[in-house]
Chains A and B, each alone.
Chain A
Amino acid sequence: MADTNRKIQELLSDYAGALRDGCLPVFLKSLTRQEGETMTCSDDFWEAAQVVRVLNGVGFADKAAIADAGLFASRVDANIASRLKKAKSSPRARRTNGARSTTRTRKAEKPI
């Protein structure tokens, strides 16, 4: 991807390669302003990009090393537990649970 003025077919080829290798950010960072404009103006590029994504799913997803669903379910459960914990400890939740700020209770006390 050293070329800085790639034509549309080269851009598509690099996009397809990046998608296949799982390094899309590298491709995105390699784009110059001119290449970005070339992509914007080309309808063919966007049509071909759709097929490239489909080919990526059909051709390579089966070969990918995908984790076990049972193990992944426990990861999801941990994510949910952390969301629950966060929701319970958020300041708004604490206030609605009956905890008041100390300044407020002091004001309510009678001065001696």
Chain B
Amino acid sequence: MNRRLRNALKGLTAPDDDRRRRAMEPFVRETFQMFIRYLYRYLGNEVECEDVLEDVYGDIWQNPDRLRDVESERQLLRTVYLYYMRKRLREVYRTMNRHLYLSQNDLTNLTAPELGLLDKMSQSELKQALGRALGRLKARERRAIELWLEGMSVRAIANELKTTVGAVKMLKFRTILKLKKMMSEYCHEE
């Protein structure tokens, strides 16, 4: 953890409201990119990410006790997700739940899940693991994932691979399961 972030965290856990408020600015500057990228996983929408993050920072200012013993960036991200972001993510979808055919448990698992093995890895570790896993896939599987990551629709991928939409969906599903296995192996190796 860099010195500026450590100092900001120290100010954030002060008992005085005004001192905590002054410490928020350097804390936001140091963590904004990291937090918003993490939230993007669950929302995929910049505007919603910013709205949720604004409340998350407000909650941190109001009740920063959980951040008292944080020593590394990874630990900070994990603590902020578990104790601040998750609650806010659940609130985004809470009002929707009565109109859905999903159980409360499934909705939570889909929108604000518990941290899995892959969620605990940092962005750079994930990129590395994904790069290695993609390299081990068959050419067709890799192409399907790469095209999807470029932002292409399933129909466009099907046209590109000269196959049907259904076949692409099946290929993507199997490949993603394969990726999960490979990335978990990488995680255990590390």
Contacts and interface: CB of A to CB of B under 8 A. Distances in A.
Specify whether A and B are partners. yes
A56 B172 CA distance: 14
Interface string B22-61: 0011001100110011101111111011100111011001
Interface in A60-112: 60-62, 64-67, 69-70, 72-73, 75-77, 79-80, 83-84
Given A25-B96, A33-B101, A59 B41 contact: no
Interface of B: 17, 21, 24-25, 28-29, 32-33, 36-38, 40-46, 48-50, 53-55, 57-58, 61-62, 93, 96, 99-103, 106-107, 109-111, 113, 116, 118-119, 123, 126-127, 130, 145, 148-149, 151, 153-154, 166, 168-170, 172-174, 176-177, 179-180, 183
A88 to B, nearest CB: 11
Nearest to B31: A69
Contact of B48 (A9, A22, A28, A59): A22
6 contacts: A13-B172, A20-B44, A22-B45, A48-B173, A61-B36, A75-B50
Given A22-B48, A29-B100, A48-B176, A76 B153 contact: no
Question: Interface majority SS on B: helix, strand, loop or mixed?
Answer: helix
Interface string A1-36: 000000011101101111111111100110111011
B44 A29 contact: no
A72 B32 contact: yes
A76 B118 contact: no
Given A49-B110, A69-B33, A76-B28, A20 B151 contact: yes
Given A13-B173, A50-B116, A61 B41 contact: yes
Given A22-B43, A28-B96, A28-B107, A77 B24 contact: yes
B1 to A, nearest CB: 17
Tell which of B32, B33, B49, B151 has the most Cβ of chain A within 10 Å: B32
Question: Interface majority SS on A: helix, strand, loop or mixed?
Answer: helix
A80 B8 CA distance: 16
B58 A35 contact: no
B179 A31 contact: no
B89 to A, nearest CB: 11
A13 B123 contact: no
Contacts of A49: 109-110
A57 B126 contact: yes
